[in-house]
Every structure is written in structure tokens, then in C-alpha cells.
A = this chain, B = another copy of it.
Amino acid sequence: MSRTAKAVYLHGVGDLRIHEEPVPQIAAPNEVLIRVAAVGVCGSDCHFYRRGRIGRFVVKEPIILGHEFSGTVVDVGAEVEHLKQGDQVAVEPGIPCRRCQRCREGRYNLCEREVVFMATPGLTHGAFREYLTWPADLAFKLPERVSLEDGAMVEPLAVGVQACRRAGIVPGQSAAVLGAGPIGLLAAQAAASYGAHPVVVTDVVSTRVALAEKLGMTAVDAGKSDVVEAIRARTEGRGVDAVIETAGTLPTVREAMAAVKTGGVVVLVGMLAEEEGMLRAMDIIEREYDVRGVFRYATCYLPALSLIAAGRIDLASLRTHEFPLDQTEEAIKTTIEDKAGAVKVLVRP
């Protein structure tokens, strides 16, 4: 193993640079050293690249982006039992405190001490690099027949799993997913895997609608049809039991509330630019439904991996582009510009 390795740092808006630096070393007995294999480009990576900040998190020091990734274990700490050299893993990118009330009760995504989340300014670096160390319990061995490329997509699938879990989807229920980006398409497949039928997927981009259809969903082109009517038409006028809103716009939030069945659940996943959405409180009361937020995920990697291993999620159809590490900027730009219908773009360090 070479002594130095490459890492891609964001120095400021639009300023990505490749550094050569020492390969990191295991510093704690429960860590693993991972050779990064594949990293998905996330909307938040693009946002940092273009704006230099997301909310209160501002790029002041150079930071390595990327948090959707897989890799191969090359070294393990003294206390690591469940992994060994050569194991391929998908990695959960947030480290909770493990000790507060929320962590203890299993909702560690709401850790009271702030999750140390990868690629977050002020917290810790991300995965656009060749090597990194990480707590071993957050590295999940890929089951047989799950590739490293698949492994890099466990993170966004975990968001979809969290959404389905928060929605409480079970067989007999119907679902709608608003927005057919990577999160939407993965949430839709997760919803089907949780038993929902039909799963209606809507988007205004026709290539994404087509992809949703290819994935077996009931696809609706929101540019051509009234989404709420289309959903009602497929549910005997009742609306769906669960709506997963991933588009993050006021119109789709309103569609979500109009399309949910009386007594159903709207799950909000898509971040809204506007400070205030317009949720009609009176409608929530009269039709006794729920609006539930989703913030990342907790204990979703195992279910996500299980669904992939069971062959219930088509990840390959979502992977549209692949770039080597030194073309990370191209990968980010491709995601932003959506050239040639980019859905999920991977960087291969």
C-alpha cells in the first residue's frame, strides 16, 4: 500500500483541488481503514460546490465532500470483530454519540449532541478520496451478490427506507412518491418492497417519469396530468395511504396533502427552500391524517442491504454516469446540469 493517497478538497465556491496526503491510520480500536471504491454525488455536494454553504454549515476550511459510498476494508482496529481485510462494505456516514437518550432508544439520527456527519463543514471530511478511517460498526459488510456500485447507493436508499418506515407502509396500502430524482426513485422502490401497491410516482421531467415506469411504478407526468386527480383515479377516489414528498416544492407539498387518503400519512423528505410551507392545519384535522418529517435515517442500512440482496431494488438503472476521482468536478457538474439525463453519478476513487 502506498504511503500517500489522493483526496479532493473543496476550497470555496466552484474550487475543487486534488491533494496528495498521507494515507490515514487507524486511531481507535474500533475503527476500520477503508479503500474507497465508489462515491455517489448527492445534491448536498452540488449545493456546497455552488454556494459554499447549506444553512448554518459554511465552507471556511477546505473540506472533502461525498458521503454516499462503499469500499474495501484494508485494516481493522484491535476490537473489530465483524470485519476483516478484504471485506466490502457500505458505510453509514454519520457518527452519533451513542449515549444520549435518543441514541439509546434507537433514534440516533436525532442525537442530542449532533451527529458527526461526513462532508459537513466544521464536523468531518467526506469520501471523495482514496482512503479513510471510520468506526467499524458503521461499516456494513455487503451481502453476496451486492456490488460495490450497489454499496455506494445504500445511503440514499436508506433515506427511502426511513421514509417508508415513518409512513408505516404495509401490504394493502397504496403510496405515491412525488419527485422522481434518485431519492424519489429509491423511495418508490422501497415503498413497493414494504408492500405498497400501486406506487404512483410523479415528476415534471419526462425522462424521469419514463424511468419510474421502467422500474414498475405507476408513473404520472406532472407536466401533463393533474397529479391529485391521477392519484385519486388509481385509488377509487380515496387517495393513497402514504405520500412521500421528495421534490421539496410548495406545489408538491400541497399535492401531497390533497392526494393523501383520509387517515393516511404524508411524509416530508424533500428540503424546501422557502422557510414556510403552507400546510392546511384544518385539512389535517378534518381528515385526521398525519404529516411526518424525515431527517436522514436510523438503523436503515440493514433493511436497505437486505432489500438489495433480495433483488427487490433496481439500482443499476439509476446509475447513469461514472467518473474517476480526478474528474470529481465533472461528476458534480454532470449532476447539476443533468446532462443526458443524469440520475445517480458515481465517482470511482
User: Which single member of B101, B109, B263, B294 contacts A107 (CB below 8 Å)?
Assistant: B263
Inter-chain contact B284/A268, CB cutoff 8 Å:
yes
Copies of this chain held together in the complex: 4
Q: A14 within 8 Å of B by Cβ?
A: no
Q: Return chain B residues, CB-CB under 8 Å to A195.
A: 193-195, 303, 306-307
With CB as the reference atom, state the residue of chain B lying closest to A140. Answer: B101
Interface residues of A in 267-281 (CB under 8 A from B): 268-269, 271-272, 274-281
Nearest CB on B from A334, distance (A): 27
Which chain B residues border A286 with CB–CB below 8 Å?
293, 295
Which of A165-220 touch B at CB < 8 Å? 165-166, 170-173, 190, 192-195, 197-198
Most chain B beta-carbon contacts within 10 A, residue among A173, A195, A268, A272: A195
A195 to B310, CA, bound (A): 9
> What CA separation (Å) do A109 and B288 show in the bound complex?
9
Q: Pick from A110, A275, A279 the residue with the most CB of B within 10 Å.
A: A279
**A271 and B285 in contact, given A171-B161, A195-B194, A306-B171 (Cβ under 8 angstroms):** yes
Measured CB to CB, the nearest residue on chain B to A274 is B282
A28 adjacent to chain B (CB < 8 Å):
no
User: Distance (Å) between the CB of A264 and the closest chain B CB?
Assistant: 10
Provide the residues of chain B in CB contact with A295, threshold 8 Å: 285-288
Q: Return the chain B residue nearest A168 by Cβ.
A: B170
A–B complex contacts, Cβ < 8 Å, 25 sampled: A99-B137, A100-B137, A104-B137, A106-B106, A171-B194, A171-B306, A172-B302, A197-B310, A197-B312, A198-B310, A271-B282, A272-B282, A275-B282, A277-B281, A277-B282, A279-B284, A284-B292, A285-B293, A285-B294, A285-B295, A286-B293, A287-B293, A288-B293, A290-B291, A291-B292
- Sample of 12 more A-B contacts, CB < 8 Å, known A195-B306, A272-B282, A277-B282: A102-B262, A106-B107, A170-B303, A171-B194, A171-B303, A193-B195, A278-B279, A284-B291, A286-B293, A287-B295, A289-B292, A290-B292
